[in-house]
Amino acid sequence: MLIHGKCHCGNISFSLTWEPSPAEIPARACTCSFCSKHGGVWTSNPRGALKVVVGDPSLVSRYAFGTRTADFHVCTRCGIVPLATSRIDDHLYAVVSVNAFEGVDPALLRRSPAHLEGEEKDSRLARRKRSWIADVEYLEQGT
């Protein structure tokens, strides 16, 4: 399955290859202080391949807080947060927002809350290495 997603204005877009095609897609409603405010619901497949294309990098704000080990990529033109990345041992991992999906049957989404606050930094990074997308290509096109 090839999943397409983008922010509202299209400045940040992604395609996620998910093989074999999923019977259901986990959708984790994150309860952290940032995701609570913008309704962040995330998915990842550690065996998936993600390609991110940014039209104008000057219109992307990378927001970090707390342990500052993850960057939320906020489109400053339309305010949408299509993905978050984390660089661990010089390797880029990512999760994508199911809210940014285009044309994916919502019935595929298996929604559940994710309570990750209070998690120790080391176990947090280990969890990302296990469950986040490990094959990430990030292309900035410039203006």
Binding site for Zn ion (CB under 5 A): 7, 9, 11, 75, 77-78
Residue 118 CB, nearest approach to Zn ion (Å): 32
Comparing CB distances to Zn ion, the nearer of 41 and 80 is 80
Q: Which residue is nearest to Zn ion (CB)?
A: 75
Return the number of the residue (7 or 98) whose C-beta is nearest Zn ion: 7
- Report, in Å, the least distance between residue 55 CB and Zn ion: 9
Cα–Cα distances in angstroms (integers) from residue 5 to residues 97, 126, 133, in the given order: 8, 26, 15
Query: Which residue spans within the chain are E strands per DSSP?
Result: 2-6, 12-17, 25-30, 41-43, 49-54, 60-63, 71-75, 83-88, 91-97, 101-102, 109-114, 135-140
* Minimum separation from the CB atom of position 82 to Zn ion (A): 8
